Structure 1
Amino acid sequence: MTQSSTAGWQLKQTYAYLHETFFVPAEPAPAEAPKLLLFNRGLADSLGLDADEAEAEAAQTLSGTTLPEQAYPISQAYAGHQFGHFTMLGDGRAHLLGEQQCPDGRLMDIQLKGSGRTPFSRGGDGRAALGPMLREYIISEAMHALGIPTNRSLAVVATGETVRRQRMEPGAVLTRAASSYLRAGTFQYAAQFGSTELVQQLADYAINRHDPEAAEADNPYLAFFRRVMERQASLTASWQGVGFIHGVMNTDNMFISGETMDYGPCAFMNAYDPATFFSSIDQGGRYAYENQPKIAGWNLARLAESMLPLFDEDEEKALAAAQEELYRYTELYHEAWLDVMRAKIGLAGQEEDDEPLIDQLLSMMQAAEADWTNTFAGLTEENWEKANVLQTPAFQTWYTKVKARRERQDEPAFPIMKRANPAVIPRNHRVEEALAAAESGDMEPLHALMAVLSSPFDYEQTPASYQEPPPPSSLPYRTFCGT
């Protein structure tokens, strides 16, 4: 059911013009008693919406009960390697309403999550529990504030219904926006269940949406793949910089736009340990912190496999071209990571001994089980109590070397560090406290947390209580998919 809206929706339907293989029309299920819980007015403004009107309508239009009149709800088909195993997937509880035409000319996909069954539900109920939808809202908006590319959250609407998980839980629908919901797994689906012609149609669509300049290259599809690879290397390095652990880096969760998606089992690292992972379903630590760069490369290799016929008609030449590009990924990631870590210790430019300096600090931090965020915040403020690992003779020797390195650069160190080192992150225990209160009907802790997370680099205004590591009683911490 659609309704006339004065909220400023300008929904296009470019994805729905692709071959029918890529999607199925699917109507969201109406909510029993929709109630708006969260609405992102800043995002609404950037989408070109009238925030007042959009918020007033949100309980209905962003729950799937009624839809803006330009909406054409579909569920996208895709496949993916989940923990290394290939499977057919698709939007089992999500509906793409269309692409919003933003004031700056961009198209942003608008998707409802938890909005009911689709042909891809695979026996699921198509619904979502309130807690995981609030969690995605918190973390995605925190990532945006940290300057890390991400799909964003526009609203959370309680449905007034319950969903059965391990227990009965209140239901909710999340509205999220992304540059597109094209995934590595979308290309895998086209290659596995479609044809070369369909892979090419999808690639042409993706180039038009994300990399129109690639169309002018001698080999547009290889140029497009190169851009995807560059974005993924940069994104993964930015995750490593803030201690973010995605938790479920399946190929269906890798956007070709280079934005972060799927915040189910993610969490932020506290004590620095490269082997850290939190997801309850990641039994072997496949997606641990130290493995994320390698997994990103593995996912890119699966994308390259799907696109091989587009790289060259000759199979051997296509394979050689793909391998040549993939060899560059390690270098691209390493360069991006070095840039991130140089900024975190206040270095501008490049010198040969920068990487040893970074490695020495990380070794000290690991040995001392130092808190990732607070150590770098302490460095930024020269607050050795906050960065408790930095009170040893080894650190003093290291810091003397770093200061000497900084003296050889033109740009002052501390402005660089203040842009790179957040004072606050979504501490796992703080997120859980806010979610527990919200599920009991008290949204104030969540609003307070969001207010702090909206300005993560504001050292002067960040309350100390939000910077504290979790108490021992909350460890070990485990996350769950929320499906």
Structure 2
Amino acid sequence: MKIPFDNTYGDLPAQMFTRLRPTAVSDPSLIAFNAALADDLGITAGDDAQIATVFSGNQVPDGADPLAQLYAGHQFGNWNPQLGDGRALLLGEVTDKNGTRRDIQLKGSGPTPYSRSGDGRAWLGPVLREYLVSEAMHALGVPTTRALAAVRTADTVIRETLLPGAVLTRVASSHIRVGTFQIYAARGDKEALAALYDYTVARHYPDVTDPSGLLTAVLHRQAALVARWMGLGFIHGVMNTDNVSVAGETIDYGPCAFMDTYHPDTVFSAIDQYGRYAYSNQPGVAVWNLTQFATALIPLMPDQDEAIENFTTIINTFSDVFDGARRDVFAAKLGLTDATADDNALIDDFLTLMARDGADFTNSFAALATDTLKDQFVDQPALQAWETRWRSRLTDNSSAIMAKSNPLIIPRNHHVEAVIAAGVAGDDAPFHAMLNAVTRPYAALTPETAPFAQPPAQGEAVTQTFCGT
């Protein structure tokens, strides 16, 4: 196998990471390999056995510079002064065919100095979940990390029970997080903070000239990202600052989920006991996280009082930026062109009807283009009144817009859980069938993909999701 590594993160100050090799696993076997992504990254792969050997961590490929990155973060609003890659290693970086620098990282590669007594391993379920959901998000047009490989091991991982082990290889624009900035600001390590700022700007925002520009750029990307999540009924589930990428990608698919029945207060994560990261709370949490990012940038400013005032003004723009992004997302889902603030009522009234009638989020929007909307709702008079208003806003292009904006298939929780159960039993066929479906979310349904468009039947609904650690 040849991977054209061109590594740069290891040139940053030494206190920002720890170099170490992955811990070997027993009898690795390949579950999935993303050949199209590998080609985009310039990777020349060998046979399945070699791919499994490399992406299990048993063989470090030539040119790799494996290291665990250091960061901190607020977890459910509580400050944790040191986190870091506790079960992951950055193998190195490549430049893809579009000239974009990308990280290649192993998850589940063994303990690191940042493991906090954890085993550094991943079990099979979260690996299959992240592979499916991240590749689905990419197909849905959402900025996201990608899955390059999933490898099963013969090792047992201890969680609440004994579970089969696995390793995920993921690809990201970078793994720089809000929490990466926070740790050096909190430690008063201005050398590392300034080096991280310069590196981030050069890698992700080359037009930025000062920290206020970086804050503005990250704010716009986060607003656009969360608006896309909202338009898909996606709930990240653990929007801690250590899980917020400054590149504006969805990262760290732990207890994430897509809604079936729509309600704005929906929560799936078993560790989110108070609904901090509920569906409707995600924009507000994004503001909170961006405020922590702004705080971490203040030491870089010559006049800190002036910086606080300036950064506060920037943070206060989030509402308008997000509202515009959200309106664009939902207007497209309704097939509207040239949407204005007046269309917010049309959007919100449809969502209110959905919540009141317990309508399926994905299928209700998909039904707009197929004249089957009435099948999703109970209150037919209210629906008809709304539909009259909506149809008055449609144009000749509306059907095409809706077709590109409303997926027929999302990674529904009950299907993901069925895939995981099959995988634990040694059957990977359901995983591959679901992967085929969720990576073609806007395509016409076929006999093979149609089952994955179905919401859960009675007794199938998943009400809680869990973190892999």
> Does the pair score TM above 0.5?
yes
Structure 1: distance between partners of 2:356 and 2:187: 49
Instruction: Specify the code of the residue in structure 2 equivalent to 1:481.
Output: C
Instruction: Specify the code of the residue in structure 2 equivalent to 1:335.
Output: G
Instruction: Specify the code of the residue in structure 2 equivalent to 1:369.
Output: G
1:201-240 deviation line (CA, Å, top 9, x unaligned): 101000011011114xxxx221111111100000000000
Cα shift at 1:123: 0.6
**What pairs with 1:323-334 in structure 2 (closer than 5 Å)?**
323-334=312-323
- Equivalent residue for 2:451, pick from 461, 465, 468: 465
CA contact under 8 A between 1:376 and 1:387: conserved in structure 2?
Answer: no
Instruction: Specify the code of the residue in structure 1 equivalent to 2:393.
Output: R
Cα shift at 1:459: 2.8
Counterpart position of 1:356 = 345
CA contact under 8 A between 1:25 and 1:73: conserved in structure 2?
Answer: yes
1:439-466 deviation line (CA, Å, top 9, x unaligned): 1111111111111111100134374322
Tell me the TM-score normalized by structure 1.
0.94
- Equivalent residue for 1:109, pick from 99, 103, 106: 103
Cα shift at 1:387: 2.9
Counterpart position of 2:308 = 319
CA contact under 8 A between 2:24 and 2:58: conserved in structure 1?
Answer: yes
- The 3 A distance-change label for structure 1 pair 194 and 20 is farther
Cα shift at 1:476: 5.2
CA contact under 8 A between 2:93 and 2:101: conserved in structure 1?
Answer: yes
Tell me the SS of whatever aligns to 1:214: coil
**What pairs with 1:214-225 in structure 2 (closer than 5 Å)?**
214-215=208-209, 220-225=210-215
Q: Residue 183 in 1 paired to residue 177 in 2?
A: yes
- Equivalent residue for 1:142, pick from 131, 136, 141: 136
CA contact under 8 A between 1:374 and 1:386: conserved in structure 2?
Answer: no
- Equivalent residue for 1:34, pick from 13, 28, 36: 28
Q: Residue 262 in 1 paired to residue 263 in 2?
A: no
Structure 2: distance between partners of 1:351 and 1:34: 54
Structure 2: distance between partners of 1:352 and 1:335: 8
Cα shift at 1:194: 4.2
Consecutive unaligned residues in structure 1, runs of 5 or more? 1-6
Structure 1: distance between partners of 2:339 and 2:126: 42
Counterpart position of 2:6 = 12
1:398-427 deviation line (CA, Å, top 9, x unaligned): 1111121224xxx61011111110001111
- Equivalent residue for 1:388, pick from 362, 365, 377: 377
Tell me the TM-score normalized by structure 2.
0.97
Structure 1: distance between partners of 2:192 and 2:452: 49
Tell me the SS of whatever aligns to 1:212: coil
Consecutive unaligned residues in structure 2, runs of 5 or more? none
- The 3 A distance-change label for structure 1 pair 106 and 29 is same
Cα shift at 1:134: 1.1
Counterpart position of 2:329 = 340
Instruction: Specify the code of the residue in structure 2 equivalent to 1:400.
Output: T
CA contact under 8 A between 2:23 and 2:110: conserved in structure 1?
Answer: yes
Report the aligned-residue RMSD. 1.4
1:363-386 deviation line (CA, Å, top 9, x unaligned): 111110111001001112222355
- Equivalent residue for 1:426, pick from 411, 418, 423: 411
CA contact under 8 A between 2:2 and 2:62: conserved in structure 1?
Answer: no
**What pairs with 1:360-371 in structure 2 (closer than 5 Å)?**
360-371=349-360
CA contact under 8 A between 1:245 and 1:269: conserved in structure 2?
Answer: yes
CA contact under 8 A between 2:332 and 2:401: conserved in structure 1?
Answer: yes
Structure 1: distance between partners of 2:422 and 2:62: 36
Instruction: Specify the code of the residue in structure 2 equivalent to 1:276.
Output: T
CA contact under 8 A between 1:380 and 1:421: conserved in structure 2?
Answer: no
Instruction: Specify the code of the residue in structure 2 equivalent to 1:114.
Output: G
1:324-381 deviation line (CA, Å, top 9, x unaligned): 1000111111110000010111101023420111111111111101110010011122
Counterpart position of 1:481 = 467
Q: Residue 60 in 1 paired to residue 50 in 2?
A: no
Cα shift at 1:34: 1.1
1:118-169 deviation line (CA, Å, top 9, x unaligned): 0001111111111111111111111111111110111111121111111111
Counterpart position of 2:293 = 303
Counterpart position of 2:202 = 208
Counterpart position of 1:3 = none
Structure 1: distance between partners of 2:305 and 2:249: 32
Counterpart position of 1:81 = 74
Greater Cα shift, 37-46 or 336-345:
37-46
- The number of aligned residues is 467
Structure 2: distance between partners of 1:355 and 1:399: 15
Cα shift at 1:436: 0.6
Instruction: Specify the code of the residue in structure 2 equivalent to 1:442.
Output: D
Structure 1: distance between partners of 2:461 and 2:365: 22
